[in-house]
Structure formats: structure tokens, C-alpha cells
């Protein structure tokens, strides 16, 4: 623990007479616990046993002239171990007198508690008041000294110094915390308002990165509702009331014409206490536009998918040519997914129509993926499992190569060169 944060019992004695310094040492920092001092401590601090009741011992520093005292105060501040109290004699020839000395000491250390030691003829109270004004840092100790009074003053003023230092430190911590909060709020991109429960704007922090043309016109001491559309102003007051009553953040979005264009905002209202709230207004126009663009893109993609499904259905129709014979002419490039769709459409149609023969025509298929041959065989197998004969027509060299490359058993699969010959075969069965 450093010298400032520990209990400060450091006392500066400023007097040009050595005997005065010895007196202060005997009273405030005795080398030996004499019986008389024990009795004195018992009288000052109470208790029957003087040794047990003895008050604190002080750390004394002596200075014989005002210039020495000023140097000692400066050294103590540099070392981080300031004096709590200074006992200063009024008359110290040939240098500064006590009033001048104390004035200079306070200029260096405003927290220093001081005692002016004076005889009645040395200095009047009016003179002291004229120099320092009303202050609670100064006491007058009349000579000759009363040792009880000296010790009481030292105890009281060192304790006062400690409490004032604690207060100063607490205020400094609070100010540092407030500065952190201020920097945090300043760094936010949002517009920040502090408002009272009636919606009056107490403080405004403009948003970062937005030109005035795209900012709502809030002003300090004005009503927030005056800068909002009527319906938004009414909702703002309702949400403000909820935030103050429920101690819960209220969030809503609204649109407003600003600078000739519609801007979108998100309002967050946080109760600070029962009488004030913090309002964060974030411009979400670009986010809203991005969301709308993404939604439009998703809708367009869904339309494209629907159109693709419709085209696929048109490119693989199941056409009845008799009550028990159907034809599925295929069109376009075939991949695994489309062949799986062919199988699904074909099996559903066969089951629904009780088809005896189904013709799958590949005349309109200019190309296919290398792995589609396996799916073609699966189509034929699925149809046979449903009791339907499958005739493959219009098979060109590439499809034939793919079917043979698969290495599947094609027995039971009938093929014909053209759709016409396939229909003739089916009709003849």
C-alpha cells in the first residue's frame, strides 16, 4: 500500500525554534511511552488503561524556515507521500512569515490541512481572513501550547485529510467513469437523446457519419415529439412511459421524411431512473433497403424455381395415346436430378392410369451427364415393378454408350429406333 492510500499521519512542523520542534516530537511522536503520556492519551481517547488507549503516533518532518517547508512539501508530493497537516509558526525571521509560507504551501498542495501557531500579538484573525478568506483547512493555535489541544488537533486534521482524500479519489474515479461512458456514447453511430418523462430533450448527441440532411431535427430543451410525425410521437410517448414504468428496453421502428426522402429508424428507449430515459435512434434505412432487396431477390429466385419446375414438367409430360399406353417425350439436357424427376412422374402416372405400356422417348435429348445411364435403368426397373412394360425410343449413340457403360442387366427393356416404331410395338402387344 502506498503512502497516500495508507492512513496518513505525516505532519510538517515549520518553526524557527528548536525547542518547539522538541515539544511537538514529545507530544506527537514520543520515543518512549512515558507514564505521563499514557495518562494523557487516556484522558484524550478514554479508557482506564493509558497504554491500551494510546492514540496514534505521527511521522514528523521539521523545517525551520518557510523556504525549507516549501521544498519539503514538493519532495513529499513527488514521492507520492504528501503531508496531511502542517503546524506553521507565524513569526520566523528572517524569512517568510507563517501567512506567506502557508500561502505558498497551499499553492503546491491544496489538500494540506494547516495550523497557524501564533501569540496574540503576532497576527490578528482579521489579517488571516483577509489573506485566506473563509476556509475549513485552517485552525489557529494560540501560544503557549496545550499538549492535549495539540494532539487533538493532529488527530482530527489527519483524519479530515484522509476523508477528504478519499472523497477526491472517489470523485476522480467517478469522473473517469463518466468520461469512459461519454467516450462510449460518442463512439456510437446512433443519435443519443436524454429525455425526461414528458419527452423533453435534455441532451442530444448527433449520429456519426450522417449529413444533417438525413438527421431528424431534435433540439435540446425541445419536445422530442415535435420532431416526429404525429403518429410516431404518440407511440414514442407510450413506449417512453413503458420504459420508465417497467425498467425494460422498448424497441420500435418508424419511417420519417427527412431531407426530401423517406428514412427508416430504430428507436431504443432505456429508463435511467424514474424520471429520465436514454433514447438511441439508429438510421436503418440502408439495412431496410438491403432487407427489401434480399426479399425481392428471394421472391425472384422462387419465381425462377417455379418456372423451372413448370418447364421441367412441360419437358417430361406423360401423354396417354390409348387407355393403357402412355408416352413420355423428353426434351433438353438430362442430368441425374431430371432423370429422378422422370422416374417420379412416370411411376405416379403408371399407378394412376393403370398403364400397360409406357414409351420413354429420348429423341429430344441432345446430351446427358455421364452418370445418367444408371438412372435410366432405374426408371425401367421401377416401371416393371409396377407391372408396366417400358419401351425406350430415340436412343442415339451417346445414350447407348452410357447405357452399356453402366454394366446393368438390360434384359426386359425393349428399345426401338423411333417413337413411331415404339408406338407400333406397343399397339401390337
In this predicted model, what pLDDT tens digit does every residue of 340-373 receive, in sequence order? Answer: 888 888 898 888 888 899 999 999 888 888 878 8
Query: Do 246 and 216 sit in the same domain of this protein?
Result: yes
Query: Do 241 and 99 sit in the same domain of this protein?
Result: no
**Confidence at residue 33, expressed as pLDDT on a 0 to 100 scale:** 52
Residue 161 in 3-state DSSP? helix
**Confidence at residue 137, expressed as pLDDT on a 0 to 100 scale:** 92
Question: pLDDT tens for residues 361-404?
Answer: 999 888 888 878 888 888 888 888 898 999 999 988 888 887 77
Query: Do 32 and 155 sit in the same domain of this protein?
Result: yes
Say how far apart CA 53 and CA 41 lie, in whole Å: 6
Q: Which long-range contacts (CB under 8 A, 24 or more apart) does 313-317 make?
A: 313/345, 316/341, 316/342, 316/345
* Model confidence at 43: pLDDT above 60: no
Question: How many C-alpha atoms does 272 have within 13 Å on its Cβ side?
Answer: 12
pTM of the complete model: 0.49
CATH number of the domain to which 350 belongs: 3.30.750.24
Q: Is 332 exposed, middle or buried (0-12, 13-18, 19+ CB in 10 A)?
A: middle
| CA-based torsion, 155, 158, 161, 166: positive or negative | negative
Beta bridge partners of 117: 89, 141
Q: How confident is the model at residue 316 (pLDDT cuts 50, 70, 90)?
A: low
- The answer to whether residue 295 sits within a structural domain is no
Q: How confident is the model at residue 35 (pLDDT cuts 50, 70, 90)?
A: low
On whether the CB atoms of residues 215 and 223 are closer than 8 A, the answer is no
- Determine phi and psi for 370, rounding to 5 degrees: -60, -30
CATH number of the domain to which 106 belongs: 3.40.50.2300
Question: pLDDT tens for residues 272-281?
Answer: 998 999 999 9
**Confidence at residue 314, expressed as pLDDT on a 0 to 100 scale:** 59
Query: Do 18 and 154 sit in the same domain of this protein?
Result: yes
Q: Which domain holds residue 269?
A: 189-283
- The answer to whether residue 294 sits within a structural domain is no
List C-alpha distances in Å: 382 to 154, 342, 346, 377. 107, 11, 9, 9
Query: Do 209 and 155 sit in the same domain of this protein?
Result: no
Amino acid at each position: 500500500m502506498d503512502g497516500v492510500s495508507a492512513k496518513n499521519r505525516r505532519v510538517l512542523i515549520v518553526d524557527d525554534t528548536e525547542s518547539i520542534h522538541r515539544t511537538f516530537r514529545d507530544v506527537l511522536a514520543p520515543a518512549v511511552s512515558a507514564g505521563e503520556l499514557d495518562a494523557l492519551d487516556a484522558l484524550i481517547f478514554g479508557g482506564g488503561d493509558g497504554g491500551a488507549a494510546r492514540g496514534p503516533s505521527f511521522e514528523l518532518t521539521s523545517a525551520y524556515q518557510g523556504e525549507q517547508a516549501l521544498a519539503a512539501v514538493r519532495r513529499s508530493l513527488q514521492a507520492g507521500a504528501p503531508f496531511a497537516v502542517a503546524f506553521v509558526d507565524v513569526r520566523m525571521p528572517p524569512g517568510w512569515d507563517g501567512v506567506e509560507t502557508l500561502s505558498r504551501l497551499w499553492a503546491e498542495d491544496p489538500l494540506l490541512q494547516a495550523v497557524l501557531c501564533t501569540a496574540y500579538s503576532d497576527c490578528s484573525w482579521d489579517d488571516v481572513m483577509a489573506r485566506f478568506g473563509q476556509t475549513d483547512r485552517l485552525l489557529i493555535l494560540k501560544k503557549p501550547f496545550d499538549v492535549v489541544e495539540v494532539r487533538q488537533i493532529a488527530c482530527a486534521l489527519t483524519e479530515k485529510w484522509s476523508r477528504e482524500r478519499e472523497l477526491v479519489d472517489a470523485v476522480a474515479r467517478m469522473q473517469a467513469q463518466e468520461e469512459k461512458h461519454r467516450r462510449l456514447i460518442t463512439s456510437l453511430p446512433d443519435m443519443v437523446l436524454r429525455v425526461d418523462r414528458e419527452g423533453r430533450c435534455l441532451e442530444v448527441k448527433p449520429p456519426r457519419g450522417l449529413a444533417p440532411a438525413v438527421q431528424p431535427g431534435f433540439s435540446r430543451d425541445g419536445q422530442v415529439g415535435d420532431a416526429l410525425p404525429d403518429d410516431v410521437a404518440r407511440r414514442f410517448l407510450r413506449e417512453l412511459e413503458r420504459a420508465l414504468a417497467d425498467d425494460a428496453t422498448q424497441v420500435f421502428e418508424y419511417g420519417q421524411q427527412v431531407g426530401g426522402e423517406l428514412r427508416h429508424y430504430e428507436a431504443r428507449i432505456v429508463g435511467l431512473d424514474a424520471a429520465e430515459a436514454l433514447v438511441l435512434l439508429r438510421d436503418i434505412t440502408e439495412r431496410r433497403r438491403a432487407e427489401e432487396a434480399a426479399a425481392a431477390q428471394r421472391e425472384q429466385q422462387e419465381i425462377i424455381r417455379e418456372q423451372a419446375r413448370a418447364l421441367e414438367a412441360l419437358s417430361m409430360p406423360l401423354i396417354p395415346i390409348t387407355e393403357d399406353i402412355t408416352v413420355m417425350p423428353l426434351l433438353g439436357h438430362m442430368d441425374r436430378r431430371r432423370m429422378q424427376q422422370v422416374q417420379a412422374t412416370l411411376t405416379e402416372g403408371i399407378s394412376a392410369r393403370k398403364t400397360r405400356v409406357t414409351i420413354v422417348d429420348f429423341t429430344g435429348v441432345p446430351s446427358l451427364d455421364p452418370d445418367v445411364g444408371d438412372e435410366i435403368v432405374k426408371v425401367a426397373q421401377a416401371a416393371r415393378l409396377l407391372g408396366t412394360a417400358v419401351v425406350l425410343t430415340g436412343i442415339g449413340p451417346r445414350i447407348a454408350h452410357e447405357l452399356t457403360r453402366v454394366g446393368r442387366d438390360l434384359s426386359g427393356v425393349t428399345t426401338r429406333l423411333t417413337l413411331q416404331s415404339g408406338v407400333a410395338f406397343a399397339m401390337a402387344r
